[in-house]
Amino acid sequence: MDIFEINKDGISEKEINVEEIMGKIRQNIRKRKESTIFSGRNGEVIQRGLSELHIDDSDIQRDFEYINSNWDPGNNSYFISSHRLAVGKFLIKGRELVNGEIKRYVDPIIGKQTAFNGSTVRLLNDTAAKFNHYNSEIEHLRSEIDSKIENLRPEFEGQIEQLRPEFENEIESLKSEIKNSIRSEINSIITSMKFDIENKVWLASILESKVKEGSKKSELGTPDTGNLDINYFRFEEQFRGSREDIKQRQSNFITYFTDCSNVLDIGCGRGEFLELLKELGIGAKGIDIDDTMVDYCLSKGLTVVKDEAISYLEKLDDRSLDGIFIDQVVEHLEPNYLINLLQLCFQKLKYGYYIFVETVNPLSLISFANFYIDMTHKKPIHPETLKFLLSSAGFRDLDTKFFSPVSEEARLKKAPLNDGMEEWAKKYLDTYNHNIEKLNDILYGAQDYAVIGKK
């Protein structure tokens, strides 16, 4: 079918072959559908080619095919024609005029939408391509890592096998160490039990000998001499404390005798301090008037003699001792005896060495109240009195130290202070707590004190 071409001036004399034009249009459409590359505005490439994207999901694949085929909303295949011969030219002209008016308003919108769709499709395709690229890189790296692990596995297994004997040796060493530690603990417990049993057996033998001695006196009709005859060893165990407790407390006094080789422990008792000195390689000897104490110290391998203090000191050369230790003894002595004893100590001690005298603290009421539990105590000695006696004997650089504090549970409790209290209440409680502290010092002060003097 032939029609006339319509231009802006009207109908041209040149005829148009409609069938030929429609055939070309159909051919162009078919080529565009078969192509995997569509051109957008300004000839920009929209589709990279679905074969490059390698999308596994079929639904997503179809979506990509759809948006890449239908991103352009424009109807570029539309062609104005008419099959009516008589009025066809007028119909075509009218349709073109209407189409022109419509396109004037619609084309800008269609153009913007086309540009937007093209940009969106390009971004989607680019993102999908990058995803495929990175996924491929990840798979490649995973493959390389797996390959390296497989290559290194024999080496690691070889190193593990090489280290296995070392680990096994370490385990055996730890087992041996644990066994030795357990064995040591058990031996310590057994030794402690053995020591306790030996003490009890020893005490039983002492009591048995005392009973036999008393029976003989009774049979012979020997009169009582009036001497106080008690087992002072058992008395100290019950009222002073165990040997281990006393050793722990006396270990704080060692610093005054570290460089000595001839220390005298006057009234050594159960020999705790002598044992400490012996463990540290410090030469020392002890004296005591109690047979039981002397026998016990000798059974422990300590150098102890039974003698009265002044009598023993008078036999020694002047300046022959390099340390004198008197612990819980002076409270048993009469004043004149104590004065003479301290003067003799000064004569027998070398110049530059220390005398250490510890006794009960009468400034603490709880200590003073317990003072007469021991019936052999004569009288407590005030710290200033003992300090004066040592100074009078010639000792210098005198220092007083207090020991054996009473536990906080036994002391009077202070009143708590809170931030929300009124100022008058805080001042009242401050005064109250200050008085409680003073009262604690009087009632529950340190139970023992020592005066240390230097010749």
What is the spatial distance between Cα 167 and Cα 171, in angstroms, rounded to a whole number? 6
pLDDT of residue 4: 43
What is the spatial distance between Cα 277 and Cα 255, in angstroms, rounded to a whole number? 11
**Structural tokens at position 21:** 């034009």
Paired residues of 264 in beta bridges: 285, 324
State the DSSP string of 1-63. -EEEEEETTEEEEEEEEHHHHHHHHHHHHHHHHH-S--B-GGG-B----HHHH----HHHHHH
What is the spatial distance between Cα 443 and Cα 432, in angstroms, rounded to a whole number? 16
pLDDT of residue 300: 86
**Structural tokens at position 311:** 């009598």
Closest CA to 268 of 244, 233, 239: 233
Counting every residue written for the chain, the total comes to 455
Return all residues near 89 (Cβ < 8 A) that are at least 6 apart: 3, 4, 6, 11, 82
Closest CA to 317 of 262, 356, 361, 362: 262
State the DSSP string of 304-321. EEE--HHHHHHHSPTT-B
Return all residues near 44 (Cβ < 8 A) that are at least 6 apart: 118, 122
pLDDT tens-place values along the chain, 455 residues long: 444 444 444 444 444 455 665 565 556 555 554 444 444 443 344 444 444 455 556 667 777 677 777 767 666 666 666 666 666 666 666 766 766 666 666 677 777 777 777 788 788 778 878 887 888 888 888 888 888 888 877 877 777 777 778 777 788 888 788 878 787 777 767 766 666 666 655 555 655 665 555 555 444 443 343 344 445 555 555 545 567 888 888 888 999 999 899 999 999 988 999 999 999 999 999 999 988 889 888 988 999 999 999 999 999 999 999 999 999 899 989 999 999 999 999 999 999 999 999 999 998 877 767 777 767 778 899 999 999 999 999 999 999 999 878 777 778 788 888 877 888 888 888 888 888 888 788 778 888 999 999 99
Q: Are 321 and 264 in contact (CB under 8 A)?
A: yes
Angle, vertex CA 200, rays to CA 198 and CA 205, nearest 5: 95
Return all residues near 257 (Cβ < 8 A) that are at least 6 apart: 263, 277, 282, 284, 323, 325, 354, 356
Paired residues of 265 in beta bridges: 286, 325
Return all residues near 341 (Cβ < 8 A) that are at least 6 apart: 266, 309, 310, 313, 333
pLDDT of residue 154: 81
What is the spatial distance between Cα 70 and Cα 33, in angstroms, rounded to a whole number? 10
Q: Are 412 and 379 in contact (CB under 8 A)?
A: no
Closest CA to 362 of 376, 378, 347, 346: 378
Q: Are 122 and 48 in contact (CB under 8 A)?
A: no
Amino acid at 455: K
State the DSSP string of 352-371. T-EEEEEEE-TTSHHHHHTG
Return all residues near 124 (Cβ < 8 A) that are at least 6 apart: 64, 67
Helix (H, G, I), strand (E, B) or coil at 212: helix
What is the spatial distance between Cα 259 and Cα 73, in angstroms, rounded to a whole number? 108
Helix (H, G, I), strand (E, B) or coil at 346: helix
Q: End-to-end CA distance of the chain, in Å?
A: 146
What is the spatial distance between Cα 128 and Cα 120, in angstroms, rounded to a whole number? 12
- Domains, in order of start, for the chain: 2-145 (no CATH), 232-405+449-454 (3.40.50.150)
CA 51 to each of CA 30, 54, 414: distance values in angstroms, whole numbers, following the listed order: 20, 6, 89
Return all residues near 140 (Cβ < 8 A) that are at least 6 apart: none
For tokens 């075509």, the residue is 92
Q: Are 309 and 288 in contact (CB under 8 A)?
A: no
